[in-house]
A and B are shown apart, each in its own frame.
Chain A
């Protein structure tokens, strides 16, 4: 029986980070109630909607992920309402992974208790940096002490599966300060970490400032691309030394722990397992009875989302598109793509078309083949877009 990954989007933040253009934003708390009502309604109509498109919505969920924005700023009462709605529509598996993204310093005791009571068993902290100045420069509201205290509180609440995010390339970051953030992360003893290289959205405040060559938001203090690449490489090596192995471009998990704490929800994205997104700018992938994948999403702005119910029209993937996705999502994982599995799903003749490109990438040192698997090299991970682009179909030449 196939199980579902459920994503709940919570677009609210106490402050907006300078590099972010997500649908998240600082909205008055009066929106929270209205938004919760909409989540409840969409959870309720999702099954009928999926059926109307001929898509199968699995009855049971084995991962739930609250992403943001900052889901940790939800009031306890609304947390209870949302979970009640989820359990009303879906069977939540007893061993389900239930993650909430939290911003350090923005987790009320009552909300934490509500999460724990509702079954939340994994917290992902958007720390970004343990250096107070770096956190402040991008508009984060916490400092190192607060972050460490929150980790302690979450553990006390009985949630031991904790992930920390760090960003390589924040304004003001240096090799030394980066090492310090990594060391503090290691000291916490968490089992999971994500290292993202700074991606500045063009239409974020910081992105616009960089665009005009301005000085605000410490745009000129952003480390160079080369420095960021170096930070990343150092982070990968450092975490390996701490027993945290990379399993995806940005994700690391402690080996030898009692359980595998890889993010089961995020693995669904890369392994093309079905997931349903509820809330603003939430994305879904389901399959029809015959196995065809369809992707659909909600609008990416809060006001229009609240004003009109429903999802945008789905996109039904062609076999070619699915195969391309199998490559560029599967290769994100360090284990790579199994050629046998790929041939089984798409047919050897279709997979065979990529042999030339694979050889080329191999000769460029970007991918490596070992027995049945194709995987990115360390260099290939840093240049993964260059690799993935090769797997996309050439558009027909314009006439």
Chain B
């Protein structure tokens, strides 16, 4: 198709601001799906979503729209993940578009995530169409929402489109705006092929499926392609577009978006942001913006039952088949046995992986406290990177420690600002900006150590703001900080899996809070159990779990022996889910106790 009649766009919205409903409405209006198919489609997509854990339905849907000017346009809706953990993927999806709909809830206003993605879109030179959704709600305030979009995002919102995705009101105006306000893709169909990979996954039946935007040239079925980051060549076996049903076609040309399946076996070969070119007529250079995804958050993953270690390895390998963004390597812990050190894009990503391992592979896991990667300059001037507390060097050999820093944007209502300021100060934050974006909305910009974010920042932000604060962040550098390794000793024995890295000035309070939380989490045993926090040889906090005094079924229950047996079995099962270290049974939660340290004590 002539690229004059193509429009590629994304939808940027905060969670619950109506992105899915609006997508459905657009599909319906362009006749891409009948109401009945719609239902089926949604369900399929939900399966996929569950399967992949992180995706949003319909990544790249082609719709044919007969506009009022009498011409039929090809509209490609490129859906993006919506979480800060996946900001690189978002940036690649946006790089595949010329425009974006910025959907804002008429009663909620702009949230941090929306803002971050809107900035990202503007920086990519995208044309933005503000859409004010949920105008059917009684609490909708269109003028105020316009004002907020102008103040926070800095866009002219006078031509924002008021709609209700739920009722369909105003949605046809969006389609017309896409056609008339967004530019068609530039790009030369005759030039050597350059296609941008913006998503890929492993399908058990078809192998690796790649979603790509053709920037220049043409991609044909049967062609030999080359991936520019690694130089590997593959044959294109089939290709097509999602309407959202997959429809096979033979060619995609400059400006178009679609999927292809080639002889690629390993999803790790198809890196997001990579450029696909033709093997026999390669492009001179790759498209800009390619980055190797780096893990930001690290944790050890172990099975409760050490016999399941190989099952865990198999599971991790299988998961990596369709999520190449996490890494793992074997590690061993004195306390937990053999396990894996895993790196994730962020906390959500870590939770997803953990949950999938437990649910899909039926594993009982122990995850150690998440941490970040430190850059340590040694006294001999060598530089090492350490993300595992067990590899922390002897302090006498350390010259300087640098920790990763993020710049966080927090949007909230002014009544919660006090609590949030206290929280970010507690978390060693440094204020960069404080701005009223409307009469009652405040935007805070802070630099914070990533180490503090990965602990319990989200939960505490949520609690101090009663959920009315949104957060976005990006990595923004390193600080030199006096970090120390804090060990936890149970019955006098250091438990390596419980060691954490903390800022020296916070160590005492963190240690006290941590051992007191552990005392709550470790059930009473037949003997007294001491829990200590120590830095080097110096014990900085101690709590005691006193010995269990009674565990007995007294009553006869009229000869109900099965009831007794069940109770005994339940207790035994509960113990099996704990990790025995020395003679002490430690429940799984205790290994993440550092995340559960109460608000009243944490981080002060």
Contacts and interface: CB of A to CB of B under 8 A. Distances in A.
A328 B560 contact: no
A225 B549 contact: yes
Nearest to B556: A266
A5 B565 CA distance: 21
B559 A275 contact: yes
A329 B562 CA distance: 11
A325 B560 CA distance: 12
A65 B569 CA distance: 28
Interface centre among B526, B550, B562 (most CB of A within 10 A): B550
Main secondary structure of the interface of A (DSSP, over half): mixed
A295 B561 contact: yes
Contact of A397 (B308, B550, B553, B559): B308
A33 interface: no
B550 A232 contact: yes
A369 B558 CA distance: 30
Contact of B554 (A250, A364, A386): A250
B139 interface: no
A249 B564 CA distance: 14
Interface residues of A, number: 47
A97 interface: no
Contacts of B572: 389, 392
B42 interface: no
A314 to B, nearest CB: 11
Contact of B550 (A197, A297, A398): A197
Contact of A385 (B362, B555, B562, B571): B571
Interface in B551-604: 551-562, 564-565, 567-569, 571-573, 575
Given A196-B555, A199-B553, A397-B305, A328 B564 contact: yes
Contacts of B362: 398
Given A295-B561, A389-B568, A389-B575, A383 B554 contact: no
A389 B557 CA distance: 19
A269 B568 contact: no
A246 interface: no
A277 B558 CA distance: 8
Contacts of B557: 283
A329 B571 contact: no
Contacts of A383: 526, 548, 550-552
B391 interface: no
B307 interface: yes
A180 to B, nearest CB: 21
Contacts of B556: 250, 266, 269
B367 to A, nearest CB: 19
A128 interface: no
B558 A67 contact: yes
B562 A225 contact: no
Nearest to B562: A295
A73 B232 CA distance: 87
A57 B572 CA distance: 34
A324 B291 CA distance: 62
B438 to A, nearest CB: 40
A6 to B, nearest CB: 11
Given A269-B556, A275-B559, A225 B568 contact: no
Give the bracket for the number of chain B residues in contact with chain A: 20 to 34
Nearest to B583: A364
Contacts of A281: 558, 560
A384 interface: yes
Given A229-B550, A285-B561, A295-B561, A199 B307 contact: no
B559 A226 contact: no
A173 interface: no
A172 to B, nearest CB: 19
Contacts of A329: 561
Nearest to B549: A229
A283 B362 CA distance: 36
Interface string A314-329: 0100000000110011
Given A283-B559, A398-B362, A392 B568 contact: yes
A364 B560 CA distance: 29
Nearest to A293: B561
A196 B554 contact: yes
A174 to B, nearest CB: 17
A197 B561 contact: no
A328 B563 CA distance: 13
B552 A297 contact: no
Interface in A342-399: 364, 366, 381-386, 388-389, 392, 395, 397-398
Given A329-B561, A388-B568, A398-B362, A197 B575 contact: no
B555 to A, nearest CB: 6
Contact of A277 (B546, B559, B565): B559
A55 to B, nearest CB: 15
B559 A269 contact: yes
A199 B559 contact: no
Contact of B561 (A5, A199, A269, A395): A269
A50 to B, nearest CB: 16
A385 B305 contact: no
A384 B569 contact: no
A360 to B, nearest CB: 11
A382 B362 CA distance: 36
A333 to B, nearest CB: 13
Interface in B160-175: none
Contacts of B548: 383, 386
Interface in B509-557: 526, 546, 548-557
Contacts of B553: 199, 384-385
Nearest to B305: A397
A283 B558 contact: yes
A48 to B, nearest CB: 22
A67 B559 CA distance: 11
A217 interface: no
Nearest to B363: A398
A383 B524 CA distance: 12
Interface string B297-338: 000000001011000000000000000000000000000000
Contacts of B573: 395
Contacts of B575: 389
A382 B562 CA distance: 21
Contacts of A197: 550, 552, 554
B310 to A, nearest CB: 12
Nearest to B575: A389
Given A295-B562, A328-B568, A383-B526, A249 B554 contact: yes
B569 A392 contact: yes
A297 B562 CA distance: 10
Contacts of A384: 551-553
A285 B550 contact: no
Interface string A106-123: 000000000000000000
Contacts of A282: 558
Interface in A295-315: 295, 297, 315
Interface in A37-86: 65, 67
A324 B556 CA distance: 18
Contact of B568 (A7, A295, A385): A385
A385 B560 contact: no
A207 B550 CA distance: 18
A283 B562 contact: yes
A228 interface: yes
9 contacts: A225-B549, A228-B549, A228-B550, A250-B554, A269-B561, A283-B561, A315-B562, A392-B569, A397-B308
Given A283-B561, A366-B526, 14 more contacts: A197-B550, A226-B546, A250-B555, A285-B559, A329-B561, A381-B552, A382-B551, A383-B552, A384-B551, A385-B568, A386-B548, A386-B551, A392-B568, A392-B569
Interface of A: 5, 7, 9, 65, 67, 195-197, 199, 225-226, 228-229, 232, 249-250, 266, 268-269, 275, 277, 281-285, 295, 297, 315, 324-325, 328-329, 364, 366, 381-386, 388-389, 392, 395, 397-398
8 shortest A-B CB distances, which residue pairs?
A229-B549, A196-B554, A385-B551, A229-B550, A382-B550, A250-B554, A389-B572, A283-B560
